[in-house]
């Protein structure tokens, strides 16, 4: 999940 973290920002 390379980009899962960026999607939790606004």
Partner 1 sequence: MNLFRLCGDMFHLLSIMVLLLKIRATRSCRGISLKTQELYALVFVCRYLDLFYSFISVYNSFMKVTFLATAFSIVRYMRYDKVVKQTYDREQDTFRYVFLIAPCLLLALVLNHRFTLTEVLWTFSIYLEAVAILPQLVLMQRTQNIDNLTANYVALLGAYRGFYILNWIYRFATERHYRQWIVWISGVIQTALYADFFFYYALCWKANKRLQLPA
Which residues bind to partner 1, rule: CB under 8 A? 1-3, 5-10
For the stretch 1-10, what's the b/e string if a residue is b when 16 or more beta carbons lie within 10 angstroms of its beta carbon?
Answer: eeeeeeeeee
The residue count for the chain:
10
Shortest distance (Å) from residue 3 CB to partner 1: 4
> C-beta of 2: minimal distance to partner 1 in Å?
6
Give the C-alpha separation, 3 to 7, whole Å.
7
Closest separation in Å from C-beta 1 to partner 1 = 7
């Amino acid at each position: 999940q390379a980009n899962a973290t960026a999607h939790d920002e606004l």
